[in-house]
Amino acid sequence: MAEQLSWKVGGQQGEGIESTGEIFSMALNRLGYHLYGYRHFSSRIKGGHTNNKIRVSTKKVSAVADDLDILVAFDQETIDVNYQELHANGIIIADTKFKPVKPDDTEAAFYAVPFTEIATELGTSLMKNMVAVGATCSIINLDASVFLEVVEEIFGRKGETVVQKNMEAIQQGYDYMKEQLDGDTSALQLPPADGQKRMFMIGNDAIALGALAAGVRLMAAYPITPASEIMEYLIKKLPKVGGTVIQTEDEIAAATMAIGANYGGIRSFTASAGPGLSLMMEAIGLSGMTETPLVVIDTQRGGPSTGLPTKQEQSDLMAMIYGTHGEIPKVVIAPGTAEEGFYDTVEAFNIAEEYQVPVILLSDLQLSLGKHTVEPLDYSKVHIRRGKLLKGGIEPRVDKSYFKRYEVTEDGVSPRVIPGVSGGIHHVTGVEHDETGKPSESPANRKAQMDKRMRKISQLPNVFPNPIYKNAKHEEADLLLIGFNSTGGAIEEAMERLEADGLKVNHARVRLVHPFPTYEILPLIESAKNVAVVENNATGQLASIIKMNAGYPQKIKSILKYDGNPFLPHHIVESSKELI
């Protein structure tokens, strides 16, 4: 029996590769298995190699697997590009239609199965994906009937015949493969799962659900990979609570419309990726200067410019911390899992209102688009905190004096009132202003207002929930691995292997990127013999931030990957051994 299974399906984009993976994983998820999926795709609609790699386990998995057990190929390119990931007991199953050729230098078993032919005989070649799913089931000894529920859900509205045909395609793929299989495949068979129902979602789903739970009513956004799923989910859900999504003409409109809506008294946000965030920078400055709450989601992808729009990268970090001209208080949060994506999104809206600042929730492509099993989300942990928002009860104004919207206070946060409220009239401007919002160039006022604004977030590292995720059982580690966002899973797995080799390894994942929680991470750095910061960029941006705040420029080393693909655990194991 296998502890886990790594399965990949590949072909030309537009051939239904994604739905093959989707059906396979949905059924396994319902059986109670834990899954972790990663899609490799290109910035085009039809054509180009695409694949969906899915890891299945009876235990929680949070990284892409190093190797591969089963490769399902709909074209020769899929075999050529991916076969080297297969281990010696692995299996290639390929559609006979493209006359597949087995590479010389692999020990993996090779089967040509008439996916397309069987499907065509059943009525349409489109069902070749179902045949492939069936063939997979026969290898891993999973009864084809487990797919009935999922197939009914997907095809039910097309009628009973379509459902039956698809089930038949799965069964025939299963039967054909069963006859062909020689040798024992029990090493690829998973033990039964616990049957527990768990959510199966991409990180963007978790973020969108978090926004909904946080009470968002308007999302203003412009489509972009890999962020669009957030707006696509919310346009289905927001009308149910009286709100909506507006697809704006560009990202500048998206950010400024969200600012207008927050000023108007609702929770509103936008989501984008690097190019969109570049356009939003001036608006983020307006939010900071006018102390208007704003939440922006940045799903990082390969940069710069258009870069690698469908590939993994973590290179927006510096831009998110330092972007916008001048100096504003800003918060940057980096969840590492879909669960964190949910809770941190709720928290982002709370912080934006409590501190009256822009909050950037940083994700990355692997987290945003990777589909994985998610532990139950606890709604009792969702609390909506709106800070010093006043909905009324303001003393009438005397002689048209303005409400002190920017009153200098001890914690820097001033009372906030929204348009429509009696007695609350004040001015809001991106020009430096006095306590009532009126423009002022007075040096004393400038200093008082700047200090007040910057004071607001100075204590955030002390109150933010788990600013650093720590898996640090060693008082004196041989190696401290540090990362952020989606690399956490691969780091944890690398850590287990390094520990098995006798090394003492600690892991720290930075969740609050800015303001940086220096004193949370410093003891771990001080006590470790070696420190390596693992990140998907070319210049070691997180390492620079850590050195800037915590020091140790010589001790802190980098493990970098910027080829568009996520870290696999073995990359980190090998690089770590080279470093120490």
Partner 1 sequence: MSTTAATPTFKDFRNNVKPNWCPGCGDFSVQAAIQRAAANVGLTPEKLAVISGIGCSGRISGYINSYGLHGIHGRALPIAQGVKMANKDLTVIASGGDGDGFAIGMGHTIHAMRRNIDLTYIVMDNQIYGLTKGQTSPRSAAGFKTKSTPLGSIEQTLSPMQLAVTTGATFVAQSFSTDLKDLTAIIEAGINHKGFSLINVFSPCVTYNKVNTYDWFKENLTKLSTIEGYDPADRQGAMNTLMQHDDLVTGIIYQDTERPSYQELVEGYAQTPLSEAELDLGAEAFDQLVKEFM
Residue 261 contacts partner 1 per CB under 8 A: yes
| Contact yes or no for 10/73 (Cβ under 8 A) | yes
| Contact yes or no for 330/514 (Cβ under 8 A) | yes
DSSP 8-class letter at 308: B
Chosen residue from 7, 200, 222, 464 binding partner 1 by CB under 8 A? 200
Q: Output the DSSP codes for 130-158.
A: HHHHHHHHHHHT--GGGGHHHHHHHHGGG
Give, as ranges, the residues between 405 and 444 that touch partner 1 (CB under 8 A). Answer: 418-431, 438-439
d(CA 279, CA 547): 29
| Contact yes or no for 314/301 (Cβ under 8 A) | no
Residue 49 contacts partner 1 per CB under 8 A: no
Q: Look at residues 551, 540, 561, 471 and name the one whose alpha carbon lies nearest to residue 511.
A: 471
Number of residues that bind partner 1 (CB under 8 A): 78
Residue 28 contacts partner 1 per CB under 8 A: no
Nearest distance in Å: CB 132, partner 1: 25
Q: Look at residues 312, 248, 260 and name the one whose alpha carbon lies nearest to residue 286.
A: 260
Nearest distance in Å: CB 341, partner 1: 13
Chosen residue from 23, 127, 131, 218 binding partner 1 by CB under 8 A? 218
By DSSP bridging, strand 216-221 and strand 199-202 are unpaired
d(CA 194, CA 131): 27
Chosen residue from 253, 331, 352, 513 binding partner 1 by CB under 8 A? 253
Nearest distance in Å: CB 323, partner 1: 15
Residue 149 contacts partner 1 per CB under 8 A: no
Nearest distance in Å: CB 324, partner 1: 11
Q: Which is nearer to partner 1, 260 or 551 (CB)?
A: 260
What size, in residues, is the chain? 580
Give, as ranges, the residues between 265 and 294 that touch partner 1 (CB under 8 A). Answer: 265-268, 282-283, 285-286, 290
Those residues whose C-beta lies under 8 Å from the C-beta of residue 544, and which sit 6 or more positions away, are 318
Residue 384 contacts partner 1 per CB under 8 A: yes
Nearest distance in Å: CB 383, partner 1: 9
Nearest distance in Å: CB 560, partner 1: 34
Q: What SS3 string covers 27-65?
A: HHHHCCCEEEEEEECCCCCCCCEEEEEEEEECCCCCCCC
DSSP 8-class letter at 191: P
Chosen residue from 48, 103, 264, 564 binding partner 1 by CB under 8 A? 264
Q: Which is nearer to partner 1, 116 or 324 (CB)?
A: 324
Q: Which residues pair with 479 in a beta bridge?
A: 505, 530
Q: Which is nearer to partner 1, 87 or 197 (CB)?
A: 197
DSSP 8-class letter at 195: -
Nearest distance in Å: CB 374, partner 1: 7
Q: Which is nearer to partner 1, 283 or 545 (CB)?
A: 283
Q: Output the DSSP codes for 361-400.
A: EEEEHHHHH-EEEEPPP-GGG------SEE-S-PPPPSTT
| Contact yes or no for 276/222 (Cβ under 8 A) | yes
Give, as ranges, the residues between 529 and 548 that touch partner 1 (CB under 8 A). Answer: none
| Contact yes or no for 338/206 (Cβ under 8 A) | yes
Give, as ranges, the residues between 457 and 516 that touch partner 1 (CB under 8 A). Answer: none
Chosen residue from 162, 246, 477, 481 binding partner 1 by CB under 8 A? 246
Type and span of the H or E element at 267: strand 267-272
Nearest distance in Å: CB 317, partner 1: 25
Nearest distance in Å: CB 480, partner 1: 35
Residue 42 contacts partner 1 per CB under 8 A: no
Stretch that binds partner 1, among 8-16, 173-181, 195-203, 561-569 (CB under 8 A): 195-203
Q: Which is nearer to partner 1, 131 or 284 (CB)?
A: 284
Q: Which is nearer to partner 1, 293 or 515 (CB)?
A: 293
Nearest distance in Å: CB 100, partner 1: 36
Stretch that binds partner 1, among 17-25, 160-168, 244-252, 542-550 (CB under 8 A): 244-252
Chosen residue from 68, 86, 224, 258 binding partner 1 by CB under 8 A? 258
Stretch that binds partner 1, among 101-109, 211-219, 448-456, 536-544 (CB under 8 A): 211-219
Stretch that binds partner 1, among 137-145, 173-181, 398-406, 451-459 (CB under 8 A): 398-406
d(CA 46, CA 42): 9
Structure tokens that stand for 85 in this block? 């990931």
DSSP 8-class letter at 479: E
d(CA 446, CA 443): 5
Nearest distance in Å: CB 62, partner 1: 17
Give, as ranges, the residues between 64 and 103 that touch partner 1 (CB under 8 A). Answer: none
Nearest distance in Å: CB 399, partner 1: 6
d(CA 551, CA 215): 40
3-state secondary structure of 316: coil
Chosen residue from 56, 167, 209, 295 binding partner 1 by CB under 8 A? 209
Those residues whose C-beta lies under 8 Å from the C-beta of residue 246, and which sit 6 or more positions away, are 218, 219, 220, 221, 257
Give, as ranges, the residues between 351 and 380 that touch partner 1 (CB under 8 A). Answer: 374, 376-377, 379-380
Stretch that binds partner 1, among 196-204, 441-449, 458-466, 559-567 (CB under 8 A): 196-204
Residue 48 contacts partner 1 per CB under 8 A: no
CA distances from 291 to 229, 272, 388, 442, 453 (A): 29, 22, 12, 20, 8
